[in-house]
Chain A
Amino acid sequence: MTQLFAATDIHISLKAEQLFTFGPLTVTNSMIYGLLCAILLAAVMIFATRRSKLLPGKNRLTAIVEAITEYVIGVLEGAFGSREKAAKFAPVFGFYFFFIIFNNMLGLLPIVGPGVYSSIEGAHTPLFRPFTADLNGTIAMSVIAIIMVQYLSIKEQGGKKHLQHYFTDKPKNPINFFIGILEVFGEFTRILSLSLRLFLNTAVGEILIAVFTSMIIASGRTPIAVLPILLFEALVAYIQAYVFTVLAGTYLGMAISHAEHHDEHQASLTSGQVEARGLHGG
């Protein structure tokens, strides 16, 4: 049942494969892996936050999780423009960072993908598949992200201001109305681009590793040459988590920036504007 690095024939599949059916639900290998990852991530987070103290002791896990959280808040600060907003929305968007990077990094282990095969119901398919290398998974993630952006925007500034983000404050003008409709369609484009980017990067990385491994295995050597590609894929895993988080944060930042622009014009000056005012004696 278990074969590590033993497949000489390349097993490439762009879609998640069915393991078994549970009533009307088809359970695929990426669903199993995604569920496992979510439980593991929740366990790590709960364990780390329970040990969280004002004066840190010797708990390395807590220190690492806190450092990454600090980094994510810093990244979101660029998208929202202020640290208060970044810290407020960090639970929503930080989740994507942690979940994607956790998924992608664990997906590089040899037991994920064509390494360990399942023999449930006579099927010969890999038991695990990275959740982010399944288009269903990434589309679900980006749909939730866009819906959260809409919800948080309405909660933050009210429905009227939220619609003004699309249709400006003069929606009777036919040009503004048409541009508003285009903007609404733009939200669907965002779902597509977010999900396709994440899916293709992870899936192509998995294929690359599988192709190189099988090429070297076929000539009867130990696949050490795959190591640089694994390291490159670790970099890609981080970059994709970063890009997804920053883009989702930027979408919300753009949606709620109009409210500030009218009400707190003084507070939302950028450092460049402050500098320019200082130079002109204002």
Chain B
Amino acid sequence: MVELFADAASSLAISKGIMLGVAFAAAALGLGLVGSSYMKALGRNPEAGKAATSVVIIAAMIEVTALLAFLLGAFLLG
């Protein structure tokens, strides 16, 4: 079998780093989008303050994906 990855030990560490970085960056981007949309809606229509419950729930749902990546990357893989 052709060895694609020369050094398994260091490539694992690098892949973990890339995985955590991408996951956290994407989660931060998602949270930022939720927050910015909420603020825009609040600016256009102050009645949108009723949506605060949904905003918190959506934020928690985005957050859990990042935490799952943390669990996988930090503890489960290798």
Min CB distance B75 to A, Å, is 6
How many angstroms from the CA of A75 to the CA of B53 in the assembled complex?
Answer: 8
Per-residue interface assignment for chain A, residues 193 to 222, with 1 indicating a CB less than 8 Å from any chain B CB and 0 otherwise: 100110011001000000000000000000
Q: Which of B50, B53, B56, B68 has the most CB of A within 10 A?
A: B53
Whether A239 touches B56, Cβ cut-off 8 Å, given contacts A200-B71, A204-B70, is yes
How many angstroms from the CA of A212 to the CA of B75 in the assembled complex?
Answer: 18
Whether A246 touches B57, Cβ cut-off 8 Å, given contacts A14-B75, A197-B64, is yes
Contacts of A14 in B (CB 8 A): 71, 75
Q: Using CB atoms, name the residue of chain A closest to B53.
A: A78
> In the complex, are the beta carbons of A239 and B60 less than 8 A apart?
yes
How many angstroms from the CA of A78 to the CA of B50 in the assembled complex?
Answer: 9
Consensus secondary structure, chain B interface: helix
Q: Specify which of A193, A200, A246 is in contact with B53 (CB 8 Å cutoff).
A: A246
Consensus secondary structure, chain A interface: helix
Contacts of B68 in A (CB 8 A): 196, 200
Kindly state whether residue B67 has any CB partner on chain A within 8 Å: yes
Count chain B residues whose beta carbon lies closer than 8 angstroms to a beta carbon of A. Answer: 13
Contacts of B53 in A (CB 8 A): 75, 78-79, 246
Considering only residues 222-242 of chain A, those with a C-beta below 8 Å from chain B are: 239-240, 242
> In the complex, are the beta carbons of A247 and B57 less than 8 A apart?
yes
Q: Using CB atoms, name the residue of chain B closest to A13.
A: B75
> In the complex, are the beta carbons of B56 and A200 less than 8 A apart?
no
Per-residue interface assignment for chain A, residues 171 to 202, with 1 indicating a CB less than 8 Å from any chain B CB and 0 otherwise: 00000000000000000000001001100110
How many angstroms from the CA of A196 to the CA of B70 in the assembled complex?
Answer: 12
Count chain A residues whose beta carbon lies closer than 8 angstroms to a beta carbon of B. Answer: 17
How many angstroms from the CA of A240 to the CA of B61 in the assembled complex?
Answer: 11
How many angstroms from the CA of A196 to the CA of B72 in the assembled complex?
Answer: 13
Contacts of A204 in B (CB 8 A): 67, 70
Min CB distance A83 to B, Å, is 15
> In the complex, are the beta carbons of A243 and B67 less than 8 A apart?
no
Contacts of B70 in A (CB 8 A): 200, 204
> In the complex, are the beta carbons of B75 and A243 less than 8 A apart?
no
Considering only residues 248-264 of chain A, those with a C-beta below 8 Å from chain B are: 250
How many angstroms from the CA of A79 to the CA of B50 in the assembled complex?
Answer: 12
Considering only residues 57-89 of chain A, those with a C-beta below 8 Å from chain B are: 75, 78-79
Min CB distance B15 to A, Å, is 20
Q: Using CB atoms, name the residue of chain B closest to A79.
A: B53
> In the complex, are the beta carbons of A246 and B64 less than 8 A apart?
no
How many angstroms from the CA of A116 to the CA of B21 in the assembled complex?
Answer: 34
> In the complex, are the beta carbons of A200 and B64 less than 8 A apart?
yes
Contacts of B50 in A (CB 8 A): 78
A201-B63, A204-B67, A246-B53 given. 20 additional CB < 8 A pairs?
A14-B75, A75-B53, A78-B50, A78-B53, A193-B61, A193-B64, A196-B64, A196-B68, A197-B60, A197-B63, A197-B67, A200-B71, A201-B64, A201-B67, A204-B70, A239-B56, A242-B56, A246-B57, A247-B57, A250-B57
Q: Which 10 A-B pairs have the closest CB atoms?
A: A200-B67, A243-B60, A197-B64, A78-B53, A14-B75, A204-B67, A246-B53, A243-B57, A197-B60, A200-B71
